Each structure stands twice: as structure tokens, then as C-alpha cells.
Amino acid sequence: MKDTAVAKLIRQETERERRGLELIPSENYVSKDVLEAVGSIFTNKYSEGYPGRRYYGGQDNTDPLEELAIERAKKLFGADHANVQPHSGAPANEAVYYAWLETGDTVLAMDLGHGGHLTHGAPVTRSAHQYNFIRYKMKDPTTGEIDYDELRALALKHKPKIILAGFSAYPRELEYAKFADIAREVGPECLLMADMAHIAGLIAAGVAKNPFDYGFHVITTTTHKTLRGPRGGLILSKGTVSNPLKAPEHTLENIPTLIDRAVFPGTQGGPHMHIVAGKAVAFGEALEPAFKEYARQIVKNAARLADELKKRGFTLVTGGTSNHLILADVYGSFGIDGKVAEEALDEIGLTLNKNAIPDDPLPPFKPSGIRLGTPAVTTRGLKEDDMARIAEWMKQAIDARDDKSVLATLRKEVETFALQFPLPSDQ
């Protein structure tokens, strides 16, 4: 690369990734092939519209590319339709809201403090100004059980047009059948939407339940977390697919077409075809048997990491994990806030993020918790016994958080260990 300033930063980032262990549950390391596709010449091409119906010429290769990504995504998740164009998870959610809601309509979604995502109605978002978000919570954060009685009561009172199941900081499985029963009680206009951004890879591998098996109409996801693809979004749906250039009737059966129209031209311009290429590669990889084994190992590693943390005095929200993600209350456990823990762990090369815990007594910038997960370290090849080592480093770093020399020694240990596990792009 001729641009030495950017080249230097890329080199430094590669070294940072090589020498540390990535525990942020929403990150992963993509394969060499995904990286190659994302860095490909498809970045040059404008392809507004959909295959066979574009607003620009020269679509000889983009049409089959997008069709390939769509077919693979449908197969992975058992969907009738896939829109592979959303630039990321937030615009994917935005497009579904736009497809189904009128201004002022109600969405019933998981409370942000109990694991929901910003795009599920946080007051700072644009959609929260346009739609009316009502929130359900866990009944008891020590077990993680959702308060389905409250969810039902809220649904019957507010008659939401969308009931949204999904989370970015919830370590347990949702009971999709209960969501579906409640939506049926609300009425035939109630759309069941699952935002599976975090667990899409687990669902694709059959390791987590698939909301479509319980009557959900729409699944949104990012493609860059457990699914191990490029940074992007994806919308899957059930229903009839028709020409997106013609406005269909506003029915649940037509939701695939309503979504296509809401993505383009509703909320986005031209798709990023180099990213669509990366998605197609990642979906192909996720269809391979090896991906099932990978997803199983993510969950095994997370369960072991949770146990090892508990042995060392960490209190875990919901008492553990059933997926890839762990939420630890470091304030309750050790009297420090999540920011202090995040920084101490960063010092030794373990990257994770501070996070609020349910009904957090501390403010958002210095919350009580840390959030961590195993998708990325599992990609590196780490197994259950390595989780004990990570838990031990975490405890040692937190104990020695003010001791620079102990932190430096721990950093060397983490680095020596991490370098034994090459990044996929190095192999």
C-alpha cells in the first residue's frame, strides 16, 4: 500500500489482534476468504435495486453475486426471503420498522437495561422519536427468566404492531413459543420480529433455537458477530416474495416485499457489493459442517468460562450462560466499576467491554458490569481448559489493577499464549 499512514495503522491493528485475546462477544475474526471478498473490486460497483431490477447497467456479476448470497442465507436460516443489502444491524432494524409501522405505532421490545439493544427503542435513537416503544424485562435477573406475564399484560394493553425478541446483553435462550402465543392474542396485525444479531451463528448451526420454528415473521441480524462474516446486516423473512418495484398490499404475507422496499429505496441507497461478496462467502462457510462444530465449541467455552469466573468470585447476571455471552457484576463482586475492570483487562491484552447490569445502581459510563464472550477466541482455536486460564488472568488483573509491574507481567503471559493461536487471516 502506498499510503504509509494507513498502512502503519493496519499493521498495528494486525499486531494488536495477534497479541491479544478478543473477548468482546460481538466481535470475531473473519477468514482470509471473507477478507479477500471484502477487499475486492466489487467495491467499485453501483447496484441500486435488486437482481434483475437495477437502476444502473453493468450488473453481469453483481446480480449472480447477490442471488448467491440470498440463496445461501435462506438455506442457513430456513427463510422464504433474505435481504442481504442492509449496511449493518441498526439499518436492518430501522428498515423493518419502516416496512411495517406508521408513525406513532407501538413496538414491544426488551428493556435496554435488561439486555435489549439501543435500536430497540432507546430514547436517543431516531426510531424512538417516530414510534412508541414499550419495554418488557426479566422477572428475576438472578435466573434470567423473562417476565412473560408482564409481557402479555403489556401486549394486551398496548396492542403493539411489532413484538421484538432480541438482545445484545442477555445470556439465556428466549421462549419464542410464548412470544408467538402472545402475538396471536394481540391479533393478526402483530408482527413477530427477532433481532438475532448476537446469536445468528448459533442459530445457523442449530445450536440455538430458530425463531422461524415458532412462527416468527422476521429475523434481523448483523453478519459480523457469531456468524463470522463481514461487518453488515441481514433481514430474513417468511411470506411471499414479489416484485419490489410495485407496492404490495400491507399484509404480513407480503412482508418480504415490504422489507425489500423499505431497505431500498426506503432507507438506503446502493448496496455495498464488496460486503455482499463477503456475506456470500461467510454464509457458504457457515453452511459447512465445520461451522456446526465451531458453534458448539463457542457454547462449551462460554459455559466453562462462566464456571471458572464464578469459582473466582465473579457474580454473573442470570447465574451463568446458555449462549456465547457472559455478563459479570464486577461492582457487586469486587467493588469496582466496569470501566476500571475493562481498563485493567485491556492493559493485559484481554479485550472486553463495560456494560450495565439490570437495574444498575451505577451510571452508563461507569456501569457495574462487564460483558464478555467466546466467539472470537473459539475462532482462534481455544478450548475449554483455556477458559480457566483466561478466568485466572482476569481475576489476577482485577486484583492487581493498580500495580503496573504485575499487569506488565500478565500482559507478557497473555501475549505469549495468544501468539500460539494465529488469526485466520494469517493461516
Which segment (153-161, 174-182, 192-200, 323-331) binds ligand PLP by CB under 6 A?
192-200
Q: Residue 288 burial by CB count (10 A; 0-12/13-18/19+): exposed, middle or buried?
A: exposed
Cβ atoms of 327 and 317 closer than 8 Å: yes
Q: Which of 231, 300, 339, 389 is catalytic?
A: 231
Which segment (50-58, 89-97, 156-164, 368-376) binds ligand PLP by CB under 6 A?
89-97
119 contributes a contact to ligand PLP by CB under 6 A: yes
29 flagged as catalytic: no
Looking at the Cβ atoms of 89 and 239, the one nearer to ligand PLP is 89
Residues forming beta bridges with residue 328, ordered by sequence position: 316, 370
User: Which residue sits closest to ligand PLP, CB atoms considered?
Assistant: 89
| Smallest distance from ligand PLP to CB 64, Å | 26
121 contributes a contact to ligand PLP by CB under 6 A: no
Strands 106-110 and 132-136: parallel
CA nearest neighbour of 377 among 75, 122, 28, 138: 28
**Strand, helix or coil for residue 133:** strand
26 contributes a contact to ligand PLP by CB under 6 A: yes
Q: Which of 27, 48, 80, 399 is catalytic?
A: 48
117 contributes a contact to ligand PLP by CB under 6 A: yes
CA nearest neighbour of 65 among 361, 278, 363, 208: 278
Round to whole Å and give the CA distance between 118 and 90. 9
> What contacts 24+ positions apart, CB below 8 Å, involve 204-209?
204/76, 204/77, 204/286, 204/291, 204/295, 205/286, 205/291, 205/292, 205/294, 205/295, 205/296, 206/292, 206/295, 207/292, 207/295, 207/296, 207/298, 207/299, 208/173, 208/323, 209/173, 209/174, 209/176
Q: Which of 106, 119, 220, 222 is catalytic?
A: 222
225 flagged as catalytic: yes
88 contributes a contact to ligand PLP by CB under 6 A: yes
Lay out the site mask for ligand PLP across 146-175 (x = CB under 6 A, - = otherwise).
Answer: --------------------xxx-------
Q: Which of 46, 67, 312, 384 is catalytic?
A: 46
According to CB under 6 A, which residues from 216 to 255 bind ligand PLP? 222
Looking at the Cβ atoms of 89 and 211, the one nearer to ligand PLP is 89
48 flagged as catalytic: yes
Distance of CA 295 to the CA centre of its chain: 14
Cβ atoms of 79 and 218 closer than 8 Å: no
131 flagged as catalytic: no
User: Which of 22, 66, 195, 337 contacts ligand PLP by CB under 6 A?
Assistant: 195
Interacting residues toward ligand PLP by CB under 6 A? 26, 88-90, 93, 117, 119, 166-168, 195, 197-198, 222
Catalytic residues: 46, 48, 195, 222, 225, 231
